[in-house]
Amino acid sequence: MFSTKEFIEASREFVCVRLETFENKEHQALVRRILNGRFENTAFCLLAPDGETPLTRSSRSPQNILGAHGRGPSAEPGSNEEVIAAMKEIADDYSPRGKVDEMVLQDFHSFRQALNVASGDQRLLLFVAASPGDVERCRDTLRPVFAHDEIIGRFHLDFGSAATDASWAENVSDTWAKSGYFIIQADAFGQKGKAISQLPLTAGKSDIAKALLDANRLFAETEERKVYSSHVAEGRSENIFFENEIPYGEDHDGDGEVDTRRSGKGKGKGKG
């Protein structure tokens, strides 16, 4: 449902935060707080503008808390219509005060993670390779670009870090410079990528927007949607594995340790 036009439009009334729970301990701790000490690989909750006060209970999906048994009006159980109506009802209680030039831009913990997520979501990735002194200027350039009606929510964005991304170009073909804006298409399993367009750091807003839209148009025409079951099976047969920074697994009993399989019972560790 997250990719439907109606849900995307409704979500623009919110600050949407996607936690990177297997790459960042602080993010995982936040999920535990939302789930009363437990940890599961998906959790959903709506918070007040203070980022602390829950406006809904927490659960695994929007349908679980805004659907037939949540705050949503009477409608077909689990329908997008019901969830979106509930989101609008909550949003009507608040007036946005933020401005485009103040928006927080997406930024992953590492390029390898950004490439992997872009592959999973089947979106193009705009990677910014810039010196620390140029990064803020690049952010200022990109804020209005990523607020554009035809761009918002359709791309992933990552700013390179000297600490984690020194070798990013080793896994990307067709690059011709060490710095710039790189529009990258990830491979099927997010292990490698191809730069399908690149611009210098001096590029203006209109040039970047045009490059993104042109690249996405071609991407939409050629990229085949993944079928989850066959994609997972193929990955297993090819022994594809993404090594997380934090051990993979869930903690349903909230004891602070990843659950292990015992005598065929309980939850086991898995591969992403």
| Per-domain residue ranges of the chain | 5-91, 100-222
The series of mean pLDDT values per 10 residues for the chain, 272 residues long, is 77 84 84 87 88 88 73 53 90 85 89 94 96 95 94 94 91 93 96 96 97 97 90 90 82 85 39 37
Angle at 36 between CA 29 and CA 82, to 5 degrees: 100
Helices 132-146 and 205-222 pack at an angle, to 10 degrees, of: 70
Its sign, for the CA torsion 19, 63, 266, 254, is positive
Its sign, for the CA torsion 49, 5, 138, 165, is positive
Selection from 143, 129, 44 nearest residue 87 by Cα: 44
Residue type, 219: F
Relative to beta strand 172-173, strand 193-199 is parallel
> What pLDDT does 46 receive?
92
Token duo for residue 88: 């609008």
> What pLDDT does 268 receive?
36
> What pLDDT does 3 receive?
67
Q: How many CB atoms lie within 10 A of CB 84?
A: 21
How far out from the chain centre does Cα 208 lie? Answer: 21
**Residue 59 buriedness (CB in 10 A; 0-12 / 13-18 / 19+):** buried
Q: Which residues are CB-neighbours of 39 under 8 A, at least 6 positions away? A: 21, 28, 31, 32, 250, 251, 254
Please give the backbone phi and psi of residue 25, each rounded to the nearest 5 degrees, phi first: -65, -35
End-to-end CA distance of the chain: 21
CATH class of 100-222: alpha beta
